[in-house]
Chain A
């Protein structure tokens, strides 16, 4: 495969919260290692609270690590706010779910788009306007929209503007954290097509975080499945979706409805029993053992290591046999 742009080595993130005078610790990321390659789209799925956003933030230095390291093109990722980080920041962008709060309401779209171009000195002063217009054009918006303020736009249009702003600085990597979940089905499809088109024309890696498994399968080359801050399965999107090996991945894919009534009705549903455990008090051994239909004695004691089961599929489960 191509060049590694982000090398994540054994990172953990621990949050300390005060709750009624008692300090509580949550391990939001637990010893995660993975790589992001040049020009790939990397999907992250998992239940709410599994650590997807924390990992996304960590990937661009927005989250302090409790241990481990992240390398961006072989340089250790500096901490946010430092001078070194500011320099790298241009190459690492993030887009969030709510475009309304991501844009300054008192600035025109043109001003919002020009700002990063000017700050990072990406073109001569005279060319800023034409650069802004070409960005708008790239995301399918009219040039006359540059004069307007955010409140004049719909959610889908604003999300396009956020994409344009991320693209303005010619980044290497964009983290997309639930960017379509506030949008309608047809607008969501437009945004996905836009991201796919943009990727065809430049060297750009995407990390796509979403609850919508259909969308993730449709856009991602590789995926990561997380459970309580740990990797349960990682590898090729097509392989994992068509032949998931981890009992949690199997349950997750089984729970996502297929938008075809006859095939959906014919499916054998095996719903996940129980609830996601309290993250402050995770189970011993395998974190998934309290809900797993394959659990055996070993799972209570020993944390399963990530093992390769196929060319492009890695699983953390004692039950999975190595071929």
Chain B
């Protein structure tokens, strides 16, 4: 994987891409969940959090790092919670692994975390089991768990794609509020442009294991510079607009074989491809706040 990601304190970042594009690999490597013997990072891979390259952290500080500096919210809340323990017991376990609190202090901490994700009746809630909660409530418990140890970064891997719109809206609003109030950076991994529009400040678009465009959210949506970004936007339906003709991207996303090809990853599906595209384009800065990996960045007319 060749990818560099730079996350600033308190910033809400998006990582968007389709299945197989490498989003979750990226997330796992941030949390160092990957086995180092099998994962080889590309020479120019780098994930910076507040100026520190996470990939170069010494092995023994990883445990502390995971949970305290970075925590994670996964796609399926029902699977992330253990069905045989109460909500309170699970939160306590996470807290005790990192903090040396007394029983009463930890309870205060847990209740306030649950209140901050807008869950009702928290005193009673901690006695309940995950199956007694709705999907949206479980996901809010996961968010509460993620903020327990006051992390600097929350990696949220498709946190709302198993939820319906109203539950999704609530989770996104809560995450946003917590991020702003506590200066927690968020890396939102998603395939949904609507989620990006609602939540993110900075967006990174991934294709074929590479980040192909990074821009602030308004620039990305109004002036996408990579043909893939533009195609993704054109394929996104808008509930506030009447029927339109979809401009779907022809062809299929290549299944990744592990080896990085030497050409542009998007070459087979790109309607602007030229002979030069058989050489992988450099990821270069186009203008303030927008970087793109395309030979013709800035020269194409990419209308939506």
Contacts and interface: CB of A to CB of B under 8 A. Distances in A.
Interface string B218-235: 100100000000011111
B19 interface: yes
B215 to A, nearest CB: 11
Which interface residue of B137, B194, B217, B239 has the most chain A CB atoms within 10 A?
A: B239
A259 B244 CA distance: 15
B218 A214 contact: no
B198 A217 contact: no
Q: Looking at chain B, what size class is its interface with the partner chain? A: 35 or more
Contacts of B193: 185, 259
Contact of B165 (A184, A186, A211, A260): A211
B18 interface: yes
B173 A269 contact: yes
B237 interface: yes
A238 B35 CA distance: 51
A253 B239 contact: yes
Q: Looking at chain A, what size class is its interface with the partner chain? A: 35 or more
Contacts of B245: 193
B53 interface: no
A115 interface: no
Which interface residue of B195, B238, B244, B245 has the most chain A CB atoms within 10 A?
A: B238
Interface string A248-276: 00011111111111111000010110111
B10 to A, nearest CB: 18
Contacts of A157: 252
Given A48-B135, A184-B19, A186-B249, A213 B221 contact: no
Contact of A217 (B120, B167, B231, B242): B242
A149 B252 CA distance: 18
21 contacts: A154-B255, A157-B252, A185-B232, A186-B232, A188-B235, A189-B235, A189-B237, A190-B249, A193-B245, A217-B237, A217-B238, A217-B239, A217-B243, A219-B243, A241-B239, A241-B242, A251-B166, A257-B169, A257-B197, A272-B169, A275-B137
Given A187-B18, A276-B134, 17 more contacts: A47-B167, A184-B19, A187-B252, A189-B235, A192-B248, A193-B245, A214-B237, A216-B239, A217-B237, A217-B239, A251-B166, A259-B196, A263-B240, A269-B173, A271-B170, A271-B173, A272-B170
